[in-house]
Copies of this chain bind each other. A is one copy, B any other.
Amino acid sequence: MNIAILGFGTVGSGIYEILKNNKEAIAKRVGEEITVKYILDIRDFSSHEDAHLFTNDYNVILNDSSVDVVAEVIGGVEPSMTFTREALAAGKHVVTSNKELVATHGDELFKIANENGKAYLFEAAVGGGIPLIRPLYNCLAANNIKKIIGVLNGTTNYILTEMITKGRDFDSALKSAQENGYAERDPSADIEGKDTARKISILTSLLYGSRVDCRHIETEGITNITMEDVKYAEAAGCDIKLIGYGELENSKVFARVSPMFISKHSPISCAMGVYNAVLANGDSVGNVLFYGQGAGKLPTASAVLGDIIDIARHKNVSMSWNSENSDSYLSDEDVKTGAFVRIAESSDISFSEKYPSAISLEAHTSSEKAYIIPSMTESEFKKLSCIKKIRCENNFKPSIG
């Protein structure tokens, strides 16, 4: 089977490298060789050992009927969208790691793929190398997945882990992430939660069957998390993590991105540093966790190749969702959350009356009080007036020690 790689960046060169190193083992498993016939990149690779594979003319690929699968690993919406549409129309399967494109135009592309009898697969778009899309869509298909809690962004998890384990403040931890290549020079898409929003959009869309638009996903990043918050979390037996959260109930869906207190006893707390983890709760299977490297050259390329191998083996693979169904969102009144709050000491009295179930944490300064409130509505949480508020799981009970 012949493939073309669009974009010879991190992921594209990873695909090339794995196919080169594991060519025979993969051929043995699949029953045929997977061969890179073209690599599309506008840069000059004339001194590359496989220079003859490179082209900057996409039409060469489109017009070659021996190319069965196109791996779009350019990222961003354009030219990826046009390239993908053209490849599907030319009767080629497309696999991708492009979370932005899948989150924003997945439904259109699934439709075009379906009309052409081809696959548009995206295992690598969420959780990097972690098998996630296929297990959720296939293995757990007998379940109604009710809840999904994901650490989906390695950059922010690295920053938070540095703050938690090394006592570094946010700015210093971000700098360390940049120095180690875990954060971009402009880290805003990561630290403001946009990357996580795209990923939870994909997961909830897949489980819900209709597009969950990022514009409906309340998105808060980690830029306001301080060492004070990290210490309060520690005192409550928790770590702070940036969580992509999804809930499905009575044919309605809810998705949110925000920092959350996560108990150290939760299996999801095993995701430290750049690792990702996703916990799904199904009505039959209960809690299931998937954990691994959510980014990086070879892990992401491994997932793209998993899609390519699936096409080689099974031809008629598909996983998809429909266009958005606009009245299908749970309202802020229907969703419950736990809350950590820091309030000024003076505002204490009315607060305790309003939330008699609030659990007091030892305050770090004399001018404030800190509480965990096990459960309230999203709507109440948003209206809370306080120094700082961070969500916890609903019905959260801190292990104070």
Binding site for B on A (CB under 8 A): 14, 18-19, 21-22, 25-26, 28-30, 123, 129-131, 134-135, 138-144, 209, 267, 269-270, 275, 277, 282-293, 298-299, 301-303, 305-306, 308-310, 313-317
Q: Known contacts A141-B309, A306-B142, A314-B317; is A289 also within 8 Å of B292 by CB? A: yes
Complex Cα gap A377–B73 (Å) = 43
Q: Is the CB of B305 within 8 A of A289?
A: no
A145 to chain B, nearest CB (A): 10
Complex Cα gap A293–B280 (Å) = 12
Q: Is the CB of B284 within 8 A of A292?
A: no
Q: Is the CB of A141 within 8 A of B289?
A: no
Complex Cα gap A129–B139 (Å) = 9
Query: Which one, B25, B129, B289, B303, contacts A290 given CB within 8 A?
Result: B289
Closest B residue to A317 by beta carbon equals B314
Q: Is the CB of A302 within 8 A of B267?
A: no
Query: Which one, B275, B282, B285, B305, contacts A141 given CB within 8 A?
Result: B305
Q: Known contacts A142-B306, A306-B141; is A131 also within 8 Å of B284 by CB? A: no
Closest B residue to A268 by beta carbon equals B270
Query: Which one, B131, B134, B269, B286, contacts A292 given CB within 8 A?
Result: B286
Copies of this chain, complex-wide, total 2
Complex Cα gap A267–B25 (Å) = 28
Complex Cα gap A306–B291 (Å) = 21
Q: Is the CB of A129 within 8 A of B284?
A: yes
Q: Is the CB of B289 within 8 A of A293?
A: no
Q: Is the CB of B129 within 8 A of A134?
A: no
A140 contacts which chain B residues (CB < 8 A)?
A: 131, 302, 306
Q: Is the CB of B144 within 8 A of A22?
A: yes
A131 contacts which chain B residues (CB < 8 A)?
A: 131, 134-135, 138-140, 288
A93 to chain B, nearest CB (A): 15
Complex Cα gap A123–B131 (Å) = 15
Closest B residue to A293 by beta carbon equals B286
A292 contacts which chain B residues (CB < 8 A)?
A: 285-289
Q: Is the CB of B142 within 8 A of A18?
A: yes
- Can you list 19 contacts pairing A with B, beta carbon distance less than 8 Å? A21-B283, A22-B144, A26-B142, A131-B135, A131-B138, A131-B139, A134-B134, A134-B135, A134-B138, A135-B135, A141-B306, A142-B306, A270-B270, A277-B289, A284-B299, A284-B305, A286-B292, A287-B291, A316-B316
Q: Known contacts A18-B142, A305-B142; is A289 also within 8 Å of B270 by CB? A: yes
A264 to chain B, nearest CB (A): 10
A316 contacts which chain B residues (CB < 8 A)?
A: 314-316
Query: Which one, B130, B134, B142, B269, contacts A288 given CB within 8 A?
Result: B130
A209 contacts which chain B residues (CB < 8 A)?
A: 28-29
